[in-house]
Chains A and B, each alone.
Chain A
């Protein structure tokens, strides 16, 4: 005397995220250009579709993508997830390899001045492959450090190709080759700006944070000032600093202070960096449970011991979170600093902008994004590791 059959909507497909990603990938591969070929740097390129690659090479990409599409219909398991991650890594590398090979062929055929850049389809496919890998790896339940390593591993084949020189004919790498020195200068400068900002920001921000945690009144003042600073757009703050610094420079000509250059940039960026750090320090200290503090005082700890042994360590996770936000923000804001002569990757970006050279712009943007993502991931892993230990 069984009742009616169980009411269950048949799941076709079972996992909607890989399914949607597969559809998007199909649309990108068939609808958008794979590479853009231009005879020289000044002219914009014409698109070549994936399907039009000589020898039908484009169809090779179908292999890893079939794995991805297939995973949409299977019950998710450890094996299927790892398979998708490997397929994604393979797809990333294959895509780059195909683009690199096509670029080399075009440069051979046309001229050494020819510019072959990745088309919209390629960028989208790269992003989709990464998202598919991230989606698959998320279900594995890895610890924070393991997660970081595995995500990095997905990029290894692609990085291998890059280092091996297989991608050198792409316009992006040609720009790099032409401006190797400028690139490394920008890299060093950008890093210098970030570090020169974070150090004083921490030196100023941590004590301010402690003060804000202790006194509500002072906290209100500190935060309202910092909030106003955060609201002012970066270009405006850089601009407003130029005047006073130029004046100082003219008064003390030997000090090396000038209105433009790294100094206004670092000062402005330090001011911006203060809010997340002060907020992180103050919240971190405030969330230490009062029971813990009571117990420590009851055991006879002095104020100093209480702070250094109990409060500070317990506040570190929240502080790290604030530091992470700060670091990512500063890396991004440092790009605008190039407008006031501070150098860094922004210089490449704005040069590319002025010359309508998209590849130069991308050459400046990619390292910034990579650096920001790397810092974000590393600090997240560190914070998670510390939390796991405590």
Chain B
């Protein structure tokens, strides 16, 4: 579904990522793990062209992502971020309906979809439809954020440290939701996180990054059985051999 071929990006004199080569097949739950500055967020944001890559080629569904307008690309992907970014002047329902409205869906279809998503994320539609973001707790806001990202039934869901700002209990609960959604819908999900535990429990594949390069790209089981180097080990919580 997503292919990176020798992709590189520099900001001024600093190289953010270099020579990235990997493929994300459909249905994969890929976790990009690393410490800050490793290039994982940049990699994610290159997928929906919030950042334009300098070198190499990125393909989505076989097509070079530079061929279409960025907005059209992004409407086919869901995007959820740590600061959530719910629009304060709109109700929960209107927030979730953002992309379907941009795509011109009929009203009845939008309303049905909003209710469906609220229920899917454990928020009772009747109670939450007309609330304002400021009336929600952090966990509820992020659930709405995820619902908004899923609203137009995108082919891919991109998430950038979505649970970083939440307390451990809420984080656990939302992680469970994500796992459930992945199992039920088979969607392709790319999740950026610095939390290896989160990656190990949710992902079907983990890519550990450091200083803009891929250190190891493997399934959780393989990663734990055969860490490539000391950096991977330290992320797994074990000391260097």
- Which residues of A pack against B, CB within 8 Å? 1-4, 6-8
- Which residues of B pack against A, CB within 8 Å? 5-7, 52, 54-57, 66
Q: State A263–B65 Cα separation when bound (angstroms).
A: 73
Q: Which residue of A lies closest to B58 (CB)?
A: A3
Q: Is the CB of A1 within 8 A of B6?
A: yes
Q: State A196–B236 Cα separation when bound (angstroms).
A: 73
In the complex, which residues of chain A have a beta carbon less than 8 angstroms from the beta carbon of B56?
3-4
In the complex, which residues of chain A have a beta carbon less than 8 angstroms from the beta carbon of B55?
2-4, 6
Q: Which residue of B lies closest to A6 (CB)?
A: B54
B220 shortest CB reach to chain A, Å: 31
Known: A2-B55, A4-B55, A4-B57. 15 other contacts (CB 8 A): A1-B6, A2-B6, A3-B5, A3-B6, A3-B7, A3-B55, A3-B56, A3-B57, A4-B56, A6-B54, A6-B55, A7-B52, A7-B54, A7-B66, A8-B54
Q: Which interface residue of A1, A2, A6, A7 has the most chain B CB atoms within 10 A?
A: A6
Q: State A7–B10 Cα separation when bound (angstroms).
A: 12
Q: Which interface residue of A3, A4, A6, A7 has the most chain B CB atoms within 10 A?
A: A3
Q: Which residue of B lies closest to A5 (CB)?
A: B55
Q: State A212–B5 Cα separation when bound (angstroms).
A: 64
Q: State A7–B66 Cα separation when bound (angstroms).
A: 10
Q: State A2–B8 Cα separation when bound (angstroms).
A: 10
17 cross-chain CB contacts under 8 A: A1-B6, A2-B6, A2-B55, A3-B5, A3-B6, A3-B7, A3-B55, A3-B56, A3-B57, A4-B55, A4-B56, A4-B57, A6-B54, A6-B55, A7-B52, A7-B54, A7-B66
Q: State A242–B57 Cα separation when bound (angstroms).
A: 78
In the complex, which residues of chain A have a beta carbon less than 8 angstroms from the beta carbon of B57?
3-4
B221 shortest CB reach to chain A, Å: 32
Q: Which residue of B lies closest to A3 (CB)?
A: B56
Q: State A365–B63 Cα separation when bound (angstroms).
A: 64
In the complex, which residues of chain B have a beta carbon less than 8 angstroms from the beta carbon of A8?
54
Q: State A1–B21 Cα separation when bound (angstroms).
A: 12
In the complex, which residues of chain A have a beta carbon less than 8 angstroms from the beta carbon of B66?
7
In the complex, which residues of chain B have a beta carbon less than 8 angstroms from the beta carbon of A2?
6, 55
Q: State A15–B55 Cα separation when bound (angstroms).
A: 25
In the complex, which residues of chain A have a beta carbon less than 8 angstroms from the beta carbon of B5?
3
B123 shortest CB reach to chain A, Å: 38
Q: State A254–B52 Cα separation when bound (angstroms).
A: 80
In the complex, which residues of chain B have a beta carbon less than 8 angstroms from the beta carbon of A1?
6
Q: State A173–B169 Cα separation when bound (angstroms).
A: 78
Q: State A163–B21 Cα separation when bound (angstroms).
A: 70
A335 shortest CB reach to chain B, Å: 42
Q: State A8–B54 Cα separation when bound (angstroms).
A: 8
